[in-house]
A and B are shown apart, each in its own frame.
Chain A
């Protein structure tokens, strides 16, 4: 079984500043994937970034980057140059990478507010 923990229910950041959202996970699997999804008030779940557990290099997508610490089972998301459009719920999720595996395990989410 996998569990995902997001310990920050709410956070705020000034526009143009940098913010880090934390996520820890627990899994007995050796092969898995980690994701950050964003859900703005418009409600669509949007994939922000993903990380393959076997890759040591941290994933980066424009202003979004992760700090993946496999031994510590930590997967934090850093948002640089925060923009008003980054205001959303952010969900960390994990998924076993074995064949026939479909289930995403979500954390409870962090509500991020970007302040003008």
Chain B
């Protein structure tokens, strides 16, 4: 069983749609992450929230908009996506202290842009 829950598992959307990906964890972790992963490639970091504040934005296009409503939830709002945005989107969480605990990943959302 995964301790990081992502919904939905699969999402198909048109380029003009607006949708959101959701991530939830109840491990008390105060850092949460969004990654994008293309087939047969390693995950690429998109955003990091630490104590509910955006810490890292890896030059991600504005059509991706992250949100961290509280310490357990992380959203990724999608709007006007392009076909090349089709990928697996992974959420992860960890404890942002001096002894970096490993990141725990969710199952991901498989996103397809028509």
Q: Which residues of A approach B to under 8 Å, CB–CB?
A: 33, 35, 37, 42-47, 50, 89, 91, 95, 97-104, 106-109, 111
Does B92 lie at the interface of the complex (its beta carbon under 8 Å from any beta carbon of A)? yes
A107 near B42 with CB under 8 A, answer yes
A101 near B100 with CB under 8 A, answer yes
User: Roughly how many angstroms separate A85 CA and B106 CA in the complex, as a whole number?
Assistant: 19
B57 shortest CB reach to chain A, Å: 12
A97 near B99 with CB under 8 A, answer yes
Does B23 lie at the interface of the complex (its beta carbon under 8 Å from any beta carbon of A)? no
Residues from chain B with a CB closer than 8 A to the CB of A100 are 50, 55, 96
- How many residue pairs link A and B with beta carbons under 8 A? The number is 60
A44 near B105 with CB under 8 A, answer yes
8 Å CB interface, B1-22 against A? 2
A45 near B92 with CB under 8 A, answer yes
B88 near A33 with CB under 8 A, answer no
Majority-rule SS of A interface residues: loop
Q: Which residues of B approach A to under 8 Å, CB–CB?
A: 2, 31, 33, 40-43, 45, 48, 50, 55-56, 88, 90, 92, 94, 96-100, 102-108, 110
B96 shortest CB reach to chain A, Å: 7
Nearest CB in chain A to that of B90: its residue = A45
A54 shortest CB reach to chain B, Å: 11
| Known A44-B108, A45-B90: A102·B43 in contact at CB below 8 Å | no
A42 near B100 with CB under 8 A, answer no
A102 near B56 with CB under 8 A, answer yes
Residue among A46, A95, A102 making CB contact with B55, cutoff 8 Å: A102
Residue among B45, B56, B107 making CB contact with A43, cutoff 8 Å: B107
| Known A43-B107, A46-B105: A106·B2 in contact at CB below 8 Å | no
Residues from chain B with a CB closer than 8 A to the CB of A108 are 41-42
Nearest CB in chain A to that of B6: its residue = A44
| Known A43-B107, A109-B40: A33·B92 in contact at CB below 8 Å | no
